[in-house]
Amino acid sequence: MRHQATRQSGFSLIEFTVASAIFSMGLAGVSLMLMTAITGTAEAGHQTIATSTASSLAELIALSTDAADHYVDPLPFQANACLDHAECTEEQWAAHEMGLWQQALTTELPNGTGLVCRDSTPDDGHEGDEACDGNGSLVVKVFWQELYRLNVNDDGRRRLVTRVPY
């Protein structure tokens, strides 16, 4: 009796292993792309928050140019000190607005802080050393830390500077 050669169909174990490895590499690439997109979106959101908060404070200061220097070195913040602008001095109002602004930065940005100062070279400094020289125009500086970038050269520290338009 003769044995007939049977033809096998389907995948062998080696073919399955190779296909699984290729699929896994593709899935890893998609995961990396997704993580990069999430990180970029978070950083863009922080930049947007820093820009809008700095601009709004700069515009507020520009509207009250007589009180501008009260924002540079404000009084300590008291939460309910100025419920109505008419009840406050310009110095108290500046302290109130700066306190609310600082709270917003702390809440909305990771390790967020900010200040108003006079600086002839505003595009320098970092949190802890703002590099305000006391000369030049009035600027608003916002500092925060990108938590996804802690291991890069700048330790994820970011700065945004807005000049007060007046």
Mean pLDDT of 66-72: 84
C-alpha–C-alpha distance, residues 58 and 146, integer Å: 24
Mean pLDDT of all residues in 131-139: 87
**Any idea which residue has 């990396």 for tokens?**
32
**Predicted local confidence at residue 3, as pLDDT:** 60
Kindly report the average pLDDT of the chain as a whole number: 85
pLDDT per residue as tens digits for the range 32-59: 999 989 988 989 999 999 999 999 999 9
What local confidence, expressed as pLDDT, does residue 104 receive? 93
In this prediction, residues 17-29 reach a mean pLDDT of: 94
Cα–Cα distance between 57 and 45 in angstroms, integer?
Answer: 18
Nearest to 99 by CA among 81, 86, 117, 111: 81
